[in-house]
Amino acid sequence: MTRWVRALWLAIGAAVLLRLFLLAWLPLTDPAEGRYGEIGRKMAELGDWITPWHQYGVPFWGKPPLSFWMTALSLKGLGINEFAARLPHFLAGVATAACLWNVARARAAHEGVIAAGVLGTALLFFLSSGAVMTDAGLVLGTTLATTGAWLALSSEDPVQRRRQAWLAFVGGALGILAKGPLALVLVGTPLLLWAAWCGRWRALWEALPWVRGVVLMVALSAPWFFAAEWKTPGFFEYFFVGEHYHRFATPGWAGDLYGKAHQEPKGMIWVFAAGACMPWTVVLPALALWRWWRARGGAGVGAETVAAADGASAQAVQASSQRGSPSMGLPPSSHGPWSLSERETARFIRLCALVPLVFFTASSNIIWTYVLPAMPGLAWWAARWLGRLREQGLRWASAGVWLAVLAWTALAFITQANGRLERSSAKGLVAACDAAWARHAPGADATMKSSAGQAADHRDDAAAPATAGDGATQGAARLVLLGRRSFSAHFYTQGRALRVDHLHEAQTQWPASGTCLAVKQDDPASLAAARDGAQLVEDLGVHHERQLWWALRLPGLKDKR
C-alpha cells in the first residue's frame, strides 16, 4: 500500500505546483479579486492597518481585516503584482489542508493523505486557495478550531491535547478576524450538537480551557472591532446588523454598500456544494456504483472477489481497531482519555460536513463560496470511506486528484483562450495604457510616480471626504474610467486610475499631455460623453470590455449625457 500512498502524494504535489503556477499566470479578476486586492494595496500604500478602504475616503465595513492584512503584508514584501497578492491566501489553503491531514491520519496514516488530496483538488477549494478573497482566512480559522477541538478530545498524547486545545481558540480568533462572529457559529454548532448527540458534555468541558481560551480569543480579535468603530463610526451597526442579519434573513437586501444582494432559491446551497466539490461529486458516486454493480454480480466471478475483499477489509479494520495496528495506522476503537468510539468520531465528522450547509439552506442571499466551511468536513468524511477500501481507495483517490489536475489545467487555458480572463481583468487594459504613455508622453512616468507618491504622503483618508471619483485624491490620473468602476484597474495602476461619472470631474487631474480614457462598451451614454467631452487622439482598442483611447481634455466643454 505504501507505493499507492507515494503515488497519491505525487499527484497532490502536481496539484500544488499547478496552483502555484496559476498564482502568477492568471490576472487579478473583477469583481471580487480586484476589489479585495485593491483594498489590500491601499492598506499597504497608506500604512493604515485599522481601516480597510473601499475607495480613498470611503471605508470598507463589509469584512474584518485579516485577509487585507495578509495581502498588504505580502504586497509590501514582494511588490504590487498578482502573485504577491495571492500568495498568503495560497499558504492559508495549504495550512488548512495540513490541519485536515493531521486530524485524519489519527485513525489511519493513508486517510490523512486522502483527505488532503480530496480537499485540495475540489474545485471551489482549489480556486479559493490562492484567490484574493476573504474565504481562505475563514476556512483556515474554522478548520484549525474544529480539528484542534477534536484532537483535544481524542488524542492519546497529553502534550498534543493541550497544544490543540489552545490552537482551537486561536483558530476561533482567526475566523472572527476573517468574517466575524459567523465563524463561532460554524465551529460551535457542530461541537454542541455532537456533545448533545453523544452525551459528551463533560468531555467537551474538560477537554478545552474554556475560560482562558475565550479570554485569549477575545484578546486576539476584539481590539480591532472597537478600533474600527472608533475610527469610522457606524461600523458596528452596518457590520453586525446588516452583514450578520439582513444579509441572510432579508431577501434582496438593499442595504449592501459594496455590491448587490443575491436572490437564490432556498436550498440552493446544496447545488452549490455539488459543484464546489467537483470532481469528487462524480468520482465518489462512480466508485460506489461500480462496487455495487460488482457486488450484485454484474461482473460474474469479480463480484465474489469484491465481496471477499470487502469482508476481509472489514475484519481487518475491526481487528486492528481492537488492538491498534501500526501497519494500518489505526488507533484502538476507544481512544483518548474519554474513550471516544469510532461511531462518535463519525458523528462529529458528519456534523462538521453538514451543519454549514444546513445553516445556509433557508437563506436566499448566498453565493457558492458559502460552501467552503463545510468542505474540510466533507473531505474528511470521504477520506474515511476511501481509507476503508485501502489500496482500492488509494487508487481511486490518486485517479481523482490527477483528473482534477488535468481538468483545472484545461479549464484555465480554455478560459484564457476564449477571452474570459481578458474581459474580467484590467491587466490588458493597463498594459495598453502603459504603451500609449510610452508613445505619447515618454519620460512622464517618473513624474507621475513622484506625483502619486507625494499625494499618498499627504493623504489623511480617515478624515478625507469621499471624492467624486474613485481614484487618488491628488495627482495626475494615468487612466480615467468613465462610468463603471474596475478595481483591478486601480490595482494594476497602483492607485493612479480615476473613476468618474462625468468627465468634468477629472478636469483637475487630467494631464496636459493627455491620458488614457476607458469607457464600458455597453454604456452608450458614457461613450457619447467621451466623444463630445474629449479630443480622442488614438484608438487603443477594446480591452476589459472597455473602449480605450488616448485623449486630451477639451477645457470648458460639459458632458452631454
Domain assignment of residue 182, yes or no: no
480 SS3 class: strand
Task: Say if residues 399 and 166 touch (Cβ distance below 8 Å).
Answer: no
Q: Which residues contact 453 (CB under 8 A, 6 or more apart)?
A: none
Q: Which residues contact 79 (CB under 8 A, 6 or more apart)?
A: none
Domain assignment of residue 487, yes or no: yes
Q: Which residues contact 51 (CB under 8 A, 6 or more apart)?
A: 59, 60, 228, 231, 232, 461, 462
**pLDDT confidence band for 561 (50 / 70 / 90):** very low
**pLDDT greater than 80 at residue 335:** no
**pLDDT confidence band for 47 (50 / 70 / 90):** very high
Tally of CB atoms within 10 A around 442: 9
Domain assignment of residue 239, yes or no: no
The torsion angle over the Cα atoms of residues 395, 397, 402 and 406, rounded to 10 degrees, is 130
**pLDDT greater than 60 at residue 422:** yes
- β-strands 479-482, 515-520 pairing: parallel
Q: Which domain holds residue 509?
A: 423-553
Residue among 88, 138, 554 nearest 369 (CA): 138
Q: In 262-374, where does DSSP find H-type helix?
A: 268-276, 280-295, 301-323, 342-359
Q: Note the Cα 494 to chain centre separation in Å.
A: 23
**Cell numbers describing residue 549:** 483611447
Domain assignment of residue 431, yes or no: yes
Amino acid at 193: L
Q: What sign does the dihedral 271-277-278-281 (CA atoms) show? A: negative
What's the pLDDT tens digit per position in 62-94? 899 999 999 999 999 999 999 999 999 999 999
Provide mean pLDDT across the span 251-260.
Answer: 60
**Residue labelled with grid coordinates 460506489:** 288
Average pLDDT of the chain, as a whole number? 87
Burial category of 36 from C-beta neighbours within 10 Å (exposed 0-12, middle 13-18, buried 19 and up): buried
Task: Say if residues 145 and 172 touch (Cβ distance below 8 Å).
Answer: yes
pLDDT score of 541: 96
Q: Which residues of 88-100 are buried (b: 16+ CB within 10 A; e: fewer)?
A: bbbbbbbbbbbbb
pLDDT score of 253: 54
Position with higher pLDDT, 18 vs 328: 18
pLDDT score of 466: 40
Provide mean pLDDT across the span 164-187.
Answer: 96
Tally of CB atoms within 10 A around 25: 14
**pLDDT confidence band for 284 (50 / 70 / 90):** very high
Measured between alpha carbons, how far is 477 from 517 in angstroms, rounded to an integer? 10
Q: Which DSSP category does 535 fall into? A: E
Provide mean pLDDT across the span 31-53.
Answer: 95
Domain assignment of residue 230, yes or no: no
Position with higher pLDDT, 323 vs 275: 275
Q: Which of 249-263, 361-375, 404-418 has the lowest mean pLDDT?
A: 249-263
**pLDDT confidence band for 336 (50 / 70 / 90):** confident
pLDDT score of 442: 83
Position with higher pLDDT, 490 vs 316: 490
What's the pLDDT tens digit per position in 220-237? 999 999 999 999 998 988
Measured between alpha carbons, how far is 231 from 65 in angstroms, rounded to an integer? 14
Strand order in the sheet with 534-543: 497-500, 479-482, 515-520, 546-553, 534-543
Measured between alpha carbons, how far is 415 from 405 in angstroms, rounded to an integer? 15
Domain assignment of residue 541, yes or no: yes
Residues pairing with 520 in the sheet: 546
**pLDDT greater than 90 at residue 283:** yes
**pLDDT confidence band for 262 (50 / 70 / 90):** low
What's the pLDDT tens digit per position in 428-483? 999 999 999 999 988 766 555 554 454 444 443 333 434 444 554 457 899 999 99
pLDDT score of 41: 97
Task: Say if residues 504 and 510 touch (Cβ distance below 8 Å).
Answer: no
Domain assignment of residue 434, yes or no: yes
Measured between alpha carbons, how far is 233 from 87 in angstroms, rounded to an integer? 32
Domain count, the chain: 1
pLDDT score of 471: 54
Q: Please report, rounded to a whole number, the percentage of residues in the chain having pLDDT higher than 90.
A: 71
Q: Which residues contact 6 (CB under 8 A, 6 or more apart)?
A: none
Residues in the chain: 561
Measured between alpha carbons, how far is 142 from 411 in angstroms, rounded to an integer? 29
Q: Which residues contact 506 (CB under 8 A, 6 or more apart)?
A: 469, 477, 480, 498, 500, 553
**pLDDT confidence band for 254 (50 / 70 / 90):** low
Residue among 116, 191, 100, 183 nearest 153 (CA): 191
pLDDT score of 238: 83
End-to-end C-alpha distance for the chain, whole angstroms = 71
pLDDT score of 366: 83
Cα→Cα distances 422→430, 490, 544, Å: 11, 16, 6
Position with higher pLDDT, 149 vs 460: 149
**pLDDT greater than 70 at residue 182:** yes
Residue among 269, 248, 247, 274 nearest 259 (CA): 247
Task: Say if residues 518 and 545 touch (Cβ distance below 8 Å).
Answer: no
Measured between alpha carbons, how far is 547 from 549 in angstroms, rounded to an integer? 7
Residue among 493, 494, 485, 469 nearest 546 (CA): 485
Amino acid at 426: A
255 SS3 class: coil
Provide mean pLDDT across the span 539-545.
Answer: 96
Measured between alpha carbons, how far is 308 from 365 in angstroms, rounded to an integer? 49
pLDDT score of 198: 96
Within the chain, how many helices (H) and strands (E) appear? 24, 7
Domain assignment of residue 544, yes or no: yes
Provide mean pLDDT across the span 199-219.
Answer: 96
Measured between alpha carbons, how far is 237 from 462 in angstroms, rounded to an integer? 18
